[in-house]
Amino acid sequence: MATRIFAAFASLASLPAASGSSFKYIYGVWPGEDYLQDFWGPVRLGFEGSIAYEQSLLAASDDDVAEIIGTIMNGTAHLRDVLVVGPMRHGEASYAELLRSGGAFFPIAEGVDLAAYGLTNATSFQFNFNPDPINAAELVAQEICRTTGRGAIHRVMRLYGAAYADSRVDANLAWLEEYCGATIFEHSSLRAYFREETAYDLAFSALVKDSSASLIVAANDRMVKGALRAIEDTLSPAAAAKILIAGFDWTEDWMLKQGKIVADGDQYMSTPGAGARGNQPVSSGPNFRTLELGHIEVDAADFWTNRLLSKRSRRPRVETVKSKSG
């Protein structure tokens, strides 16, 4: 799977502030929870591939962030030289302390009330990247339609993650009904919160109770792996072969290559419009849209990085901070 590089990272050399100062020390702090890596992993890799940075660290709790920010603050003579990049999923108080002490924070994707820190658009900024899960889900639906033909009847197991990502499943099925003439019957609706083991437990119970599912649509590939194990443990090989499975996030190429799933959605598309991967190319359907995701390729990212960010040569590092909460 191609590495995705986000153009906004090339603008991190200086804040739009009156001082116009550049940063000598740039740190990335990213969610450390394993189940969040399908979403945040590509963003972290984009940061690491675009910027000459000090450290790129993972944090799974407020305590983790406090330890990281404390170490940065205690080890830096002039905090105005420091920029921390990442989503504020944990450690709000620690980021507030960094800002009060003169450091800078670049929030990514997560909405932050800058006014609460006495900041305005003139003194700070944030970047919201916009993946396109709906178009990716619809392209997966096109691959299902190509595989089954129009007018298919599906008994669907929906494997949801968190509620914000329900469109990864629902947009797929809505497209099948509207543009492929499919008839959708509900087999089960399961919320496994992106976790493989939870998906296994829920799918296992659902299939033991009712083995008639013919299509499984999951909001990420981790849950697909759980569903595959549940199918293997509950159904005969002949029955298992009749179930179509659609994934999302395109993190498990082996499932496509081995024919375990019919298609996989990629919301961070390296090629506009190529938001699904199946065993054969996906054809454009009536609801196909070309995407503009604001990405740039690696060569362009390197060009801007070299000009704007640093003339130093630094070996990228990724460090993991283990959560004290276990």
Q: Which CATH architecture has domain 7-129+294-320?
A: 3-Layer(aba) Sandwich (3.40)
Q: Report d(CA 40, CA 34) in Å as an integer.
A: 10
CB 169 within 8 A of CB 230: no
Minimum mean pLDDT among 46-55, 119-128, 242-251, 290-299: which range? Answer: 290-299
CATH classification for the domain delimited by 133-278, as one of 3.30.465.10, 3.20.20.70, 3.40.50.2300, 3.40.190.290: 3.40.50.2300
Find out whether 263 and 276 touch, Cβ atoms under 8 Å: yes
Give Rg (Cα) of the chain.
22
Neighbour-count burial of 46, counting CB atoms closer than 10 A to its CB (0-12 exposed, 13-18 middle, 19+ buried): buried
Residue 198: pLDDT band (50, 70, 90) is very high
Q: What is the DSSP letter of 241?
A: T
| Parallel/antiparallel/unpaired status of strands 263-265 and 244-248 | parallel
Residue with tokens 């929906």: 158
Looking at every residue in the chain, the average pLDDT score rounds to 75
Nearest CA to 154 among 173, 134, 170?
173
CA distance 324 to 105: 24
Q: Are strands 263-265 and 183-191 parallel, antiparallel or unpaired?
A: unpaired
Helix runs in the chain, H state only = 37-50, 62-74, 92-100, 133-148, 167-179, 196-209, 221-234, 237-240, 253-257, 298-308
Looking only at the bridges linking them, the beta strands covering 104-107 and 153-160 are unpaired
List Cα–Cα distances, 253 to 44, 83, 163, 250, in angstroms: 20, 35, 25, 7
Instruction: For residues 248 and 135, give the distance between their C-alpha atoms in angstroms, rounded to a whole number.
Output: 12
| % of the chain at pLDDT higher than 70 | 68
Residue scoring higher pLDDT (149 or 44): 149
pTM for the full model? 0.59
Contacts of 326 (CB under 8 A, 6+ apart): none
Q: What are the residue ranges spanned by the domains of the chain?
A: 7-129+294-320, 133-278
Stated length of the chain: 326
Query: What SS3 state is found at 215?
Result: strand
Predicted confidence (pLDDT) per residue in 58-95, tens digit:
999 999 999 999 999 999 989 989 999 888 788 889 99
* Whether the domain at 7-129+294-320 and the domain at 133-278 fall into the same CATH topology: yes
Using pLDDT thresholds of 50, 70 and 90, give the confidence band for residue 303: very low
Residue 113: pLDDT band with limits 50, 70, 90:
low
Q: Which long-range contacts (CB under 8 A, 24 or more apart) does 78-82 make?
A: 78/102, 79/103, 80/19, 80/21, 80/104, 81/21, 81/23, 81/24, 81/25, 82/23, 82/24, 82/25, 82/26, 82/27
Pairing of strands 318-320, 55-59: parallel
Q: What is the bridge-based pairing of β-strands 104-107 and 183-191?
A: unpaired
> Distances from the Cα of 44 to the Cαs of 29, 51, 143, 203, 300, in angstroms?
9, 11, 29, 31, 18
Report the pLDDT value the prediction gives residue 87, as an integer from 0 to 100. 83
Answer for the pair 12, 309: CB distance below 8 angstroms, yes or no: yes
Q: Which of 277, 260, 289, 285 is nearest to 140 (CA)?
A: 277
Percent of the chain surpassing pLDDT 90: 45
